[in-house]
Structure 1
Amino acid sequence: MVAFASARLLVTHIPKPKWNTKNLGLRLGADVVGAASSASLVAPVISVIDRSIMENASGRKSVADSIKSSFRDFLRRPQTFLFSKPTALIFLLYGGTYLTANTIDTLSSTVSNKPATTVTAGTAKFAASSAANIGLCIYKDQVFVRMFGPPGLVPRPVPMASYILFALRDCITVFAGFNVSPVLGPWLNEHMRGELRRRVDGVTVAQFVAPAAIQTISTPLHLLGLDLYNRSSGDSRGSVSLRDRWVAVRKNWAVSVAARIGRIVPAYGVGGVVNMKVRRYLMEKLT
């Protein structure tokens, strides 16, 4: 009897694990599946929109004409289009960005001993997601800007100023997509009333609205970065003043904002929701 009581006392005093390592390998696999699912879904659409913005800024084609051309290519050679270099680059960009964010959530839930479905919105997630997105997006942009630059222009190195502007643009967008949305969503759920609250998920709304709205601010940075490449002050056309660049940015601002919202909605809206729901579904199966 004494031995039984001692054993029972020993069991009750066994310390609880400090980390949640249950099915950790499978949870990381769920992170990959969620990221790949969302990236596969949005990559073809975003590659078309990104190309149209680049070609419009370089004077090759208007946004509308570029989209029409890409759509014709898709109808004629769908396999070639889906496995093309532009589509692959977009898959790499968003697959890598979402995988980084997912992995941060999994590592956070592991070290803090929280459920596998935990989603964070802190500095670590912003820093890691920004680093992945900026690095991959800058690589994608320097390939795109050479592929779809001004007609007849010999591809040249992308200026450092363009890289800086692209990086700032991506920091703003990532912050809206991964840090503003998780905070804004619960706030919307709390403040929506009646039938609207029953029908609309604030988290989903925030995932669409926050990254899209921020494009009004980030698009001029994008256009200026493109203009610095397309009209280098050191080329045969001579010096380009800041005023001239501002005129070009302002000229293309409205159509480019619309196009970038068109790409952000699938990237951080549709892609974000798909990534979130696929990951949460798989994590719930593993808990």
Structure 2
Amino acid sequence: MLPAITVVVPSVDAIQHQVEAAAAVAAAAVALDPQLDQPDHHRAPFSLLLKHWGVDIAAALVASFGVSPFITVVDRAIAENASGRRTLMNGVKELSRSFVERPLQFCKSREFLWIFGLYSATYATANSVGSYYEWKEADGQMPKLLATTAVNMSLVIAKDKAFAQMFGVTKTHKFPVTSMGLFAVRDALTVVSCFHAPKIIMEHLREQGMNEKLATGLSQIGAPVAVQFASTPLHLLGLDLYNHPVADRAARIQFIQREYWRSSLARVARIGPAFGIGGIGNTSFRQHMRARLSG
């Protein structure tokens, strides 16, 4: 029997405020542009940009809602497995059953709202910054990357901290700064694997004679998947520092070795929805709605 615990979790309002704050990152960045209010007869009207921003937010919400259930199941199962609350496979099976049997209750849970808010904010930031620089007729790849990375990393770290506190088996206590640092390094590796490594890998594969389409696909999928095997120990150590603050080095190494493969494979499994299906859904819905605006 698990001991009774007192859990301090963020309120729904707090999650909503984080999403709004994340969306404000993009708005603040473009609002500081001194050219924003300057007339330009060669540029589309600002009202069109506002409509595009509306589509951007709608696309982000739809895409996030589509992938959040699966990611919620995996992330909660990993957190509970790390704390010893229940095994990874039991967590995945029981949480999946909960979603199928009580979908409304599942989607009202705090863990689902964390994931939904995180990916909504990430997609909305990428969309809105992209739309702004498209309207401005300027290269926005770097601002888009920086804004999206800042929003995603900050919210992912906050989410993992919340999950560790919600699904631990000990009384809630201060979250270690070291764990936050480990999560930051983990997410930096993910960003590199998603935005920088694929291009390098693709060029190498092309030099080896592989056709461009196959090289692009393998690099875009292979890099984020491969990095999970390097970043999972950081994730597990960050959780263990919170769950077992007085454990010695040998115990931590033993824990990581025991949970490495199952946790790595679970994190690989969430790559598809998080960076593939969600991204494709976001782009497709956004393009469809913008085409309807133009029509």
Task: Give the TM-score category using the shorter length.
Answer: 0.7 to 0.9
Q: Which residue of 1 aligns with 2:19?
A: none
Asked if 1:160 is matched to 2:180, the reply is no
Specify whether residues 187 and 208 from structure 1 end up closer, same or farther in structure 2 by C-alpha distance, changes over 3 A only: same
Code of the residue aligned with 2:244 in structure 1: it is R
- In the superposition, the TM-score normalised over structure 1's length comes to 0.77
Does residue 225 of structure 1 match 2:238? yes
> What whole-Å deviation, never above 9, does each CA across 1:25-84 have from its counterpart, x for those lacking one?
111122112211210011111110001111111111111011111122223322101221
In 1, Cα distance between equivalents of 2:87 and 2:119: 25
- Percent sequence identity over matched residues? 35
Contact 2:69 2:99 in 1 (8 A): no
- Name the structure 2 match of 1:80: 105
Aligned-residue offset at 1:22? 7.0
**In structure 2, what residue type is equivalent to 1:80?**
Q
What are the residue-to-residue correspondences of 1:12-27 with 2, within 5 Å?
A: 17=42, 21=46, 23-27=48-52
**Paired residue for 1:131?**
150
Aligned mate of 1:276, from 270, 276, 283: 283
Alpha-carbon spacing, 1:135–1:271, altered in 2? closer, same or farther (3 Å): same
Q: Secondary structure at the match of 1:214?
A: helix
1:207–1:273 Cα contact (<8 Å) kept: no
**Paired residue for 1:174?**
191
* Residues in 2 aligned to 1:203 and 1:32: alpha-carbon distance in whole angstroms: 28
**What amino acid is aligned across from residue 260 of structure 2 in structure 1?**
W
Structure 1 runs not aligned, ≥5 long: 1-14, 234-239
Residues 57 and 73 of structure 1, relative CA distance in 2, 3 Å threshold = same
Regions of 4+ moved over 6 Å: 182-191
Match of 2:57 in 1: 32
**Compared CA separation, residues 170 and 20, structure 1 to 2 (3 A):** farther
| Distance in 2, Cα, partners of 1:187 & 1:79 | 47
C-alpha separation in 2, matches of 1:231 and 1:223: 12
The superposition leaves residues 142-189 of structure 1 with CA deviations (integer Å, 9 ceiling, x where unpaired) of 221111113xx1111211111111122122223333455578779989
Letter in 2 for 1:282: M
How far residue 107 of structure 1 moved from its aligned partner, in angstroms, is 2.3
**SS of equivalent residue, structure 1 residue 212:** helix
CA RMSD of aligned residues (A): 2.9
CA distance in structure 2 between the aligned counterparts of 1:82 and 1:189, rounded to whole angstroms? 44
- Give unmatched runs, 5+ long, in structure 2: 1-39
Partner of 1:265: 272
Is 1:254 aligned to 2:261, yes or no?
yes
Q: TM-score, normalised by structure 2?
A: 0.75
The 8 Å contact of residues 39 and 95 in structure 1, kept in 2 or not, is answered as yes
1:276, distance to aligned residue in structure 2 (A): 2.1
The equivalent of 1:3 in structure 2 is none
CA distance in 1, matches of 2:179, 2:248: 16
Query: Greater CA radius of gyration, 1 or 2?
Result: 1
- 1:215 and 1:257 in contact (8 A); partners too: yes
Report the number of matched residues: 254
Task: Compare 183-192 and 25-34 and name the one that shifted more.
Answer: 183-192
Residue 267 to residue 149, structure 1, CA distance change in 2 (3 Å): same
